[in-house]
Homo-oligomer: A and B are copies of this chain.
Amino acid sequence: PDIACAADYEALAQAFIPADILAYIAGGSGHDITQRSNQAAFQHWAMTPRILADLKDANTALQLLGQRFQHPIFMAPVAYQSLVHPQGELDTARAAEATDSCMLTSTLSSVTLEQIATRADPARWFQLYFQTRPEDTSALVHRAIAAGYQAIVVTLDAAVQAPGIRAIRAGFQLPDSVKAANLIHQHPDVPIPRNGQSAIFNHYRQHAPSLQQLQQLISESQVPVIIKGVMHPEDAQQLKALGAAGIIVSNHGGRSLDGAPASLSVLADIRQAIGDDFPLLFDSGIRSGSDVFKAIALGADAVLIGRLQLYSLSVAGALGVAHMIKLLREELELCMAMTGCASLAAIRATALQPTLSGY
């Protein structure tokens, strides 16, 4: 009864994660406006029950970037997972393998990307943050491909780190024991802003790749390159034109620009802009199978789970994460059965209906 649904891991995790770390994880940037919007957005849609459908061969399988997946519920790249569990990303990888999920490993993993790749063999993609020095960026990409990662996911929405007020108030600091294991040998050469220069704009210039750098990465990469953090139809179109293999509609779980719209609220327009066949993933705010259902209905091929990953990891390690994914999948199947959808493609064709505010 403690865990009656996937979302229950959120409440339960309060007992397993120290308060300052929890503030860092649960919070968004700024005042959590976008973080709250992300979840509220799902309440603006209702799912219409259907009762006469034929569900004989019903399943949740999908094909994406040449890979086949049993279900569309992937593990978002989440940094520093040993903050909440000693095994950190290693356990997450085992859970991903056990549940046929796809794991996205963060540049900022607390265990090296190679170790994660050794521990278990799920579908796995590598999430890349551009580094200040181009050679550091290249090195990361080469290591990921050498370790068998099947795609590169470039996160573009975090060039400036927007502080989260909740984490600041809680006094959160990364503990010495937790490190960005992949970056341990880099030189920390953050240039000092010249007098009168804006610290913000300066920082941005150092951490955001130029269009050329991005294009180069895409054209030279041996594996598909996917861009994470897309929130505008024109950016999506430009990325498609640039040769990206897919995009991830995301506002970084409300951790990037506070005051950005809910990720779900821009999804349909972006799908519309890039056409039906271009790979599009979605994240930010998903806490249940009905959230997954709604994201798919509005245009996502698959979804990423961020915070629920850490919450379930903190509670019971690999087992917790695997259980959480299993619950989400069953919740999704329940929605599909009751709305008469025998496949993910059928969801896409099924209209949600807007709820009246207050409903």
Contact = CB atoms under 8 A, between A and B. Distances in A.
A59 interface: yes
B257 A358 contact: no
A55 B160 CA distance: 12
Contacts of A330: 198-200
Contacts of A59: 198, 201
B163 A4 contact: yes
Interface stretch (A42-50, A85-93, A177-185): A42-50
Nearest to A51: B156
Contacts of A257: 47, 49, 334-335, 338-339
A256 B46 CA distance: 13
A38 to B, nearest CB: 9
A204 B44 contact: no
A312 to B, nearest CB: 17
Contacts of A355: 37, 261-262, 265
A30 interface: yes
Interface in A239-267: 239, 251, 256-262, 265-266
Nearest to A70: B196
A260 B235 CA distance: 34
B261 A48 contact: yes
Contact of A235 (B51, B232, B238): B51
A337 interface: yes
A333 interface: yes
A268 interface: no
A46 B55 contact: no
Given A40-B359, A55-B201, A229 B49 contact: yes
Given A4-B165, A41-B356, A198-B333, A55 B235 contact: no
Contacts of A162: 334, 338
Interface string A35-71: 0010011011011111110111011100000000000
Given A52-B156, A261-B355, 19 more contacts: A4-B168, A5-B31, A37-B46, A44-B359, A46-B260, A47-B259, A48-B231, A48-B232, A48-B261, A48-B266, A49-B260, A51-B231, A55-B201, A59-B201, A160-B338, A198-B330, A199-B330, A261-B353, A357-B358
9 smallest CB-CB distances across A and B, nearest first, come from A46-B261, A200-B333, A257-B338, A51-B156, A58-B201, A37-B359, A49-B231, A204-B337, A4-B168
16 contacts: A5-B30, A5-B31, A33-B43, A37-B359, A44-B359, A46-B265, A47-B260, A48-B266, A51-B229, A54-B211, A55-B204, A56-B205, A60-B198, A159-B337, A162-B334, A200-B330
